[in-house]
Amino acid sequence: MTKQEFLYQLKKKLSGLPKSEAEECIAFYGEMVDDRIEEGISEEEAVSIIGPVEKVVAEIISSIPFSKICKDRIKAKKKINAWEIVLIVLGSPIWLSLAVSIIAVIISFYAVLWSLIISLYAVFASIIGCAIGGVLYFFLSLFIGKSFSGFAVLGVSIFLIGFAMMFFIACKEATKGSLLLTKKIALVIKKSFIKKEEV
């Protein structure tokens, strides 16, 4: 893909953003391609290093605050006709309840998702607690003459420590997955507020 093709596709994908914001992003990536070319890289290679247009657009939209997107959408629709006001008022019981329901579902989803993540870390902490308790019992058993049971508990504690290490890795991956999912959902919501225009 050439520089012009890349910038055209980028402009097309960013057409829903405020004009000044879109032009600033296009100019930035145009300069980035030019810098690569000055380093001796071909135009096509410079574009491929930047990455696919979809990825670039996703990064740009992710960096824009949701409040700014909403504000720009409201500004874009300054003039409202009388019949539009009537329709908004008459339809408010439907769209307002629908909006509240959607927001409630999204909040509930996030609450359940992060409750599960917190629960995983709570289980991890419990396993570590049991392992530490087992090690302490082992040293105590040496003094109270119950070394056999102490060694048995120590063996279980060592197993729990190993299991806890693997479980912690699983917790980290689950957290990363949840953060990625949260980011993707936020991106989808932002994109739904960005109305693309013909370029």
Alpha-carbon gap, residue 37 to 90, rounded angstroms? 58
Task: Look at the pTM and tell me if it is higher than 0.85.
Answer: no
Does residue 90 lie within any of the structural domains? no
Percent of the chain scoring above 70 in pLDDT: 85
Does residue 47 lie within any of the structural domains? yes
Structural domain harbouring 38: 3-64
Q: What is the pLDDT of residues 76-123, one digit of tens each?
A: 555 666 776 677 777 777 877 887 888 888 889 889 988 999 999 999
Does residue 73 lie within any of the structural domains? no
Half-sphere exposure for 179 (CA within 13 Å, toward CB): 6
Tokens of 103: 């927001």
Does residue 85 lie within any of the structural domains? no
| pLDDT score recorded for residue 71 | 62
pLDDT class for 157, splitting at 50, 70, 90? very high
Does residue 35 lie within any of the structural domains? yes
Positions of E strands within the chain: none
Does residue 116 lie within any of the structural domains? yes
Residue 197 pLDDT exceeds 50: no
**DSSP secondary structure letters along 1-36:** --HHHHHHHHHHHTTTS-HHHHHHHHHHHHHHHHHH
Q: How many folded domains does the chain comprise?
A: 2
Same domain, residue pair 27 and 104: no
